[in-house]
Chains A and B, each alone.
Chain A
Amino acid sequence: MKALALAILGIFLVVLLYAEGDLPDRGDPEAPASMHVSPYYIERSLSDTRTPNLVTAVLADYRGYDTLGETVVIFAAGLASALVLLRGRGNRDT
């Protein structure tokens, strides 16, 4: 069983190493991920939002829906965990 797991891990390692050769370099301006909307953000964010920090401009303005969803998820997770823990304590007390 352990030999099988090791064999599967080895095959997975070979596949990952093979696939890694086709990835673009980090920070490559010709990479497909940097070709679509990134140039617009880099050129226009300062004149659009007066915000020198590109990350803040993208997170809070261009991708506002994402950030709203993240905030809702954090709030819901905290609320749910608090309710679960409160429920458990109520049962223990009674």
Chain B
Amino acid sequence: MIHRYQGVVVELVSRAVVPAIQVFALYIITHGHYSPGGGFQGGALLAASILLLRFTQGRKESYRRFPPGAGFALAALGLLIFLLVGLASVARGGSFLDYAYLPWPWASPETLRYYGILVVEAGIALTVWGTLVVVFDQVGTRTRDV
């Protein structure tokens, strides 16, 4: 059912809005330490931008921007990042997911926790982004043309 929407206003507005949504999503993810937001919200916003692309640009163009198999890879990559951060702190003798034991010994524990939270949020965002786009693609390719 994913066709290119015929209309110059929708086309232009979506072209302008999609990068803005994505930049805002990156802001949400990276600014989660200081303001409401974080991985879940930012990942959902990234997925929403891809959904807008799927609706307005048609299947051919939007699959070139975001291939349908990339969602699985992104989701698995995010989960892998999360697990590797947890295991990296085990490797230096800390507990699982204790970011103070990340393998950069010259940084203070607070700084390590700060960046550990940032990396983990990025992993969550990738997982949410990939999963939502995968679910949408599976529902979308099953619906009949209208």
Contacts and interface: CB of A to CB of B under 8 A. Distances in A.
B112 to A, nearest CB: 9
Interface stretch (B1-9, B56-64, B71-79): B71-79
Interface in B40-94: 72, 75-76, 78-79, 82-83, 86
Contacts of A48: 109-110, 113
Interface residues of B, number: 40
Nearest to A86: B138
A50 interface: yes
A71 interface: yes
Size class of A's contact patch? 20 to 34
B117 A71 contact: no
B78 A71 contact: yes
A16 B72 CA distance: 44
B127 A68 contact: no
A45 to B, nearest CB: 10
A67 B127 CA distance: 12
Interface of A: 47-53, 55-57, 59-61, 64-65, 67-68, 71-72, 74-75, 77-79, 81-82, 85-86, 88-89
